[in-house]
Amino acid sequence: MSRWLTDLNQQQRQAVETVEGPLLVLAGAGSGKTRVITHRIAHLLELGVAGESILAMTFTNKAANEMRERLASMVGSRANPVTLSTFHSLGLLMLREEARRSRRRQPFTIFDTGDQLGVLREITRQRRLEQGYDLGAILTRISNWKNSFMAPGETPPSDDPYDLAAAELFGRYAELMHAYRAVDFDDLICEPTRMLERDEGCRRRWAERFRYVLVDEYQDTNPAQLRLLFSIAGEHRNLAVVGDDDQSIYGWRGADVRNILRFEQDFPQAKVIYLMRNYRSVGTVLDAANRVIAQNTERHPKRLQASRGAGPRVRLTITSDGELEAAHVARTIREMVDTGRRRYADIAVLYRSNILARDLETEMRTSRIPYRMVGGTSYYDRKEVKDLVAYLKLAANPRDELSLRRVINNPPRGIGPKTVEQLTAWAEEHGVGLYEALDHAEEIIGPGERRALAVRSFKELMERTTRRMSQRSDLPAATEELVSELNLQEELRRSSESDKVLQRRWGFVIQFQQSVERFCERSDKPTLREYLTQLALLDMATERPEEAPDNQVTLCTLHGSKGLEFPVVFLIGLEEGLLPHDRTLNPQATDAVIGDIAEERRLCYVGMTRAMDELLLSRAKARRVRGRLQERTPSRFLEAIPAESLDVDDQTLTASADDVSSMMDDLRSKLGW
DNA sequence: CCTACTCTCATTTTT
DNA sequence: TGAGAGTAGG
């Protein structure tokens, strides 16, 4: 017997052993899912399957890396030939290889959401379309159409103004993306799929290459991803998917729970295995979570089974407002840590909406509780970093007009909107790109004019930069030269009002340069193109200057908590309008996808099942909403938890001596006494 | 080109 | 309430 079958429970073992044919593994929270996946791959290798023919797909790079590490620790270098990648990286790999095969041009630049919005902004500006549309709402619609393989002009009839606006922009969007030689995230899935569906020989090649396909978090796949999977695995049917419909929380991003609900119809005779033994949480937590999720109707019926003891009862604390709720959380954490029961790192505070993090942060600071927020604004969203990235993108792809427009007068060099307009008009007239028009500055603007000289010197700067960066030479050195040629440090000094701000901003520049260096050290192909690809595709978290995993409390959204676990979990803001969120209860005109209560309930379930030992729920009777104090009603999800398994602590009823004294303590610490 | 003001808007965010 | 975007005027 393969050694990867021992120390698994019966269902886990079955999931590992079922090697041929379609397989659906419904892996409940904390049921040892990652273990099953890694063991399954190890087992396949053990059976003599070539690593090259195994494809394991995840959604995040973090998950992919984690899996690779675990697998490597099991089978060592035999893990190397296995393709372990995200959907998007696989898509890019396919596009590249096929382009190479047919000697076609490879995709140049990957546009992230910010870039996509930039394209839309550009179009509305050009067309002088009515302002005031929420471009994000338009982009969502375009993205949904793309994921249903609709071309511009094929969009379904609608009288929704946003549908109409989006349909109007869709065509131009596609044209511009093409002109810029750019692809977006949707293209990375849809284009390879089209390729496979169009060309049977091509499809066969990929199907034969990946004889064994494994998909993690299957509940998060969208229709396009399903079609891609079908093209690869539809024939040999060696497709194992792992997921949990109860943890599908990305419907609003286009994920379709129905994929996992009807897997058995999509792949007839699929074997279905339930992993329901939970190794994470105590009985009380599981019981409460089970009750909540049981209220959903469209799901694979199942129930997590406890394998640990009962544990303390779930607690619900009621405070009179949001600030007091945050104060209560801080005070409880303080107590847990001071009595030595817990370390900060054992504790997480989860919330539906980032807005709740604000009061928490204030409280954490005054109570001197070290914390880290997962998610939040990325370091790569910093203006300083984005500007530099735009220079690199332009160097890699002169047709990337978006980047060109971003950097052409940044830092200011006397090329204002008027000049750019003139250049654009000339470029259009002569049917060339904007970048080429730069060469004709004198002709366009007038010989000897200062603006023309500015354009020329910008062009020369770009050519030097491109030369240094593109010949696979020393990328970090080229970046450094760019920074110095731009006189960035001086520029920042000039535009920063305080020294502190300057230090911070310059710090971002330094960090960026370091990230380039690190990439070049690690990569076996340290080219500019590769670096930019990684930047777009790779989880920024892995690139982010790593903060030491200190002993800190974790603050994060419910979405951000998926896949994590903590001994102690606070789940706050259990109120109607927050969880379920108001946006789900009262959809807006701009919403392309109307969220449903079922997904909100799953969100609640995901949060609850993060807790190993203690689950502490809370709600406030009133909360400041946009400056106004508003009465709040308890979340409907609380009703599912039977009163007898809940310890309710209503702090608005009893201001006991204890509470008063702790409030005094609180006050004292705030005043610094 | 920069700054200071006004206006607007307010979920979640794996790639 | 408060952050970020947009705009007018110096």
Nearest-angstrom CA–CA distance, A537 and A559: 20
CA A602 to chain centre: 18
- Whether A487 CB is under 7 Å from strand B: no
Q: How far is CA A327 from the centre of its chain?
A: 30
Where do runs of H (alpha helix) occur along A59-160?
61-75, 87-101, 113-127, 135-147
**Measuring from the CA of residue A383 to each C1', which nucleotide is nearest?**
C4
Better pLDDT: A594 or A289: A289
Residues 518-577 of chain A: which lie with beta carbon within 7 Å of strand B?
A: 537, 539-540, 556-557, 559-560
At A32-69, the pLDDT tens digits run 999 999 999 999 999 999 999 999 999 888 889 889 99
Distance, Å, A159 CA → C8 C1': 37
State the Cα–Cα distance between residues A616 and A646, nearest whole angstrom: 10
Tokens linked to A406? 């971003």
A581 touches strand B (CB under 7 A): yes
How far, in Å, is the CA of A58 from the C1' of nucleotide B14?
Answer: 9
- Per-residue pLDDT tens for A386-421? 888 889 999 998 988 888 988 888 788 888 878 888
Task: Supply φ then ψ for residue A542, to 5 degrees.
Answer: -75, -25
Does the CB of A513 sit below 7 A from strand B?
no
Residue A88: in which H helix or E strand, if any? helix A87-101
- φ and ψ of A157, to 5 deg: -60, 145
A383-396 helix and A475-485 helix, angle to the nearest 10 degrees: 120
Is any atom of nucleic acid chain B found less than 7 Å from the CB of residue A637? no
Chain A 129-148 residues whose Cβ is under 7 Å from strand B: 132, 134
Per-residue confidence (pLDDT) for residue A543, from 0 to 100: 46
Q: How far is Cα A414 from Cα A451, in angstroms, rounded to an integer?
A: 6
* Strand B contact with A624 (CB < 7 A): no
Query: For position A287, what pLDDT does the model report?
Result: 93
| Nucleotide C10 C1' to residue A509 CA (A) | 32
pLDDT at A140 over 60: yes
What is the distance, to the nearest Å, from the Cα of residue A645 to the centroid of all Cα atoms in its chain? Answer: 35
Of A267, A228, A227, the residue nearest A23 (C-alpha):
A267
Q: pTM for the complete prediction?
A: 0.88
What's the Å distance between residue A224 CA and nucleotide B8 C1'?
36
Helix residue ranges, H only, A486-581: 488-495, 499-522, 528-537, 540-543, 558-561
Does A131 score more than 70 pLDDT?
no
Shortest CA to C1' contact from A628: nucleotide: C1
Pick out residues whose CB falls under 7 Å from strand C.
Answer: A 624, 626-627
Query: Which of A226-240, A302-316, A546-560, A633-647 is predicted least confidently?
Result: A546-560
Nearest nt (C1') from A625 Cα: C1
pLDDT for the residue numbered A526: 85
A250 touches strand B (CB under 7 A): yes
Give the whole-angstrom CA distance, residue A642 versus residue A634.
14
State whether the Cα torsion A86-A87-A88-A94 is positive or negative: positive
**CB A584 under 7 Å to nucleic chain B:** yes
A89 CB and strand B closer than 7 A: yes
> Minimum mean pLDDT among A102-106, A136-140, A449-453, A657-661: which range?
A657-661
Strand C nucleotides in reach of protein CB atoms, 7 A cut-off: 1
What is the Cα–Cα distance from A443 to A455, expressed in whole angstroms?
12
Which CA-bearing residue is nearest the C1' of B12? A559
* pLDDT value at residue A539: 56
Could you tell me the distance in Å between the CA of residue A134 and the C1' of nucleotide C2? 21
CA of A131, C1' of C3: distance in angstroms: 21
Beta strands A305-306 and A83-86, pairing class:
unpaired
Per-residue pLDDT reduced to its tens digit, A326-345: 999 999 999 999 999 999 99
Strand B nucleotides where any atom sits below 7 Å of a protein CB: 1-3, 9-15
Mean pLDDT computed over A279-299? 93
């960066």: which residue's tokens?
Answer: A469
Average pLDDT, chain A: 87
Query: Could you tell me the distance in Å between the CA of residue A314 and the C1' of nucleotide C4?
Result: 40
CA A385 to C1' C1, in angstroms, rounded, equals 30
A114 touches strand B (CB under 7 A): no
Please tell me whether any atom of strand B lies within 7 Å of the Cβ of A222. no
Catalytic residue set of A? 33-34, 216-217, 247, 610
What distance, in Å, lies between the first and last C-alpha atoms of chain A?
Answer: 67
Least confident of A156-170, A489-503, A569-583, A628-642: A489-503
